[in-house]
Structure 1
Amino acid sequence: MAKYLFRAKLTVDGLKGLLKDGGTTRREVVERMVQSLGGRLESMYWALGEEDVYVTADLPGNTAAAAMGLVTSAAGGARTSTVVLLTNEEIDEAVRQKVEYRAPGV
C-alpha cells in the first residue's frame, strides 16, 4: 500500500454541509470512501489556514488516490490536492538510483 496526504479546501457548499453534519460525520464518510477503494484511513484533521482538512490514507496505488481526489472535487464540496508520501526506505532506494542529469546552463 502507498501512503497519501489529501489536502482539502471546502467550498461554500462544503462549509454548509460541515455546519449541518459536523466533523465526526464527515470523517465517517471519508473513512467509508477510503475503505471502498481498498484502503485504510490513517488520520483526518481539521485545520485553520490555507486548507481546511488534512487526510492521510493508505491506498492500493495512484489510481485509487486519483479516484478519491477526482470524486471528492467533482462533488463540489471541496477542492482537493494529493501528495504521495514516501517512506524512509523508499527514499533510500531512490538515492541509490543512478540518474543521468545536467543542470540548466551547465
Structure 2
Amino acid sequence: MTKYLFEANYVGEGITGLMREGGTKRREAVVEALRSAGGSLECFYYAFGDTDALGVFEIPDEADALALSLMINSTGAVKLRLKPLMSPEDLDEAAKKTPSYRPPGQ
C-alpha cells in the first residue's frame, strides 16, 4: 500500500454541497471513494486559507491513486492534489542508489 497526502479545495457547486451536507458526510464520501479503489483513510481535516481539506490515505498503487484523482477532479466540484509519502526507510533505500546525472552547462 502507498500513502498519499491529499489537499483539496471545494469549487463552485462543491462549496454549496459541502455547506448543505456538512463535513462528516463529505468525509464519509471520501471513505467510500477510497474503499471502491481498495484504499482506506488514515486521517481527514478541514482547514481554511489555501487548502479546504487535507489528510492521509493508503491505496494499493499509483494507478489506483491516479484513477481516484482523475474521477474526483473531473467533477469540477473539488480540486484535488496528491503527494506520495515516503518513510525514512524509503529514503535510506533511495540514498543507496547512484543514478547518473549531468548538471546543465557541465
Secondary structure of 1:79's counterpart equals strand
- Tell whether 2:53 aligns with 1:53: yes
Amino acid at match of 1:75: T
Cα separation, 1, equivalents of 2:61 and 2:101: 28
Kindly state the Cα deviation for residue 100 of structure 1 after the two structures are TM-superposed. 1.0
CA displacement 1:26-59 (0-9 Å, x = unmatched): 0001001111111110011111111111131000
Kindly state the Cα deviation for residue 24 of structure 1 after the two structures are TM-superposed. 0.3
Cα separation, 2, equivalents of 1:33 and 1:55: 14
Cα separation, 1, equivalents of 2:74 and 2:101: 38
Counting aligned pairs with the same residue, the percent is 37
Query: 1:91-102 alignment to 2 at 5 Å?
Result: 91-102=91-102
- Where does the alignment leave 5 or more consecutive residues of structure 1 unmatched? none
- Where does the alignment leave 5 or more consecutive residues of structure 2 unmatched? none
The residue that corresponds to 1:81 in the other structure is 81
Kindly state the Cα deviation for residue 80 of structure 1 after the two structures are TM-superposed. 1.1
Cα separation, 2, equivalents of 1:83 and 1:39: 15
Secondary structure of 1:43's counterpart equals strand
Q: How many residues align?
A: 106
User: Please, what TM-score do these two structures have when normalized by structure 2?
Assistant: 0.95
Cα separation, 2, equivalents of 1:91 and 1:41: 23
Aligned CA-pair RMSD: 0.9
Cα separation, 2, equivalents of 1:82 and 1:104: 29
The residue that corresponds to 2:67 in the other structure is 67
Cα separation, 2, equivalents of 1:105 and 1:47: 44
Structure 1 moving runs of 4+ over 4 Å: none
The residue that corresponds to 2:8 in the other structure is 8
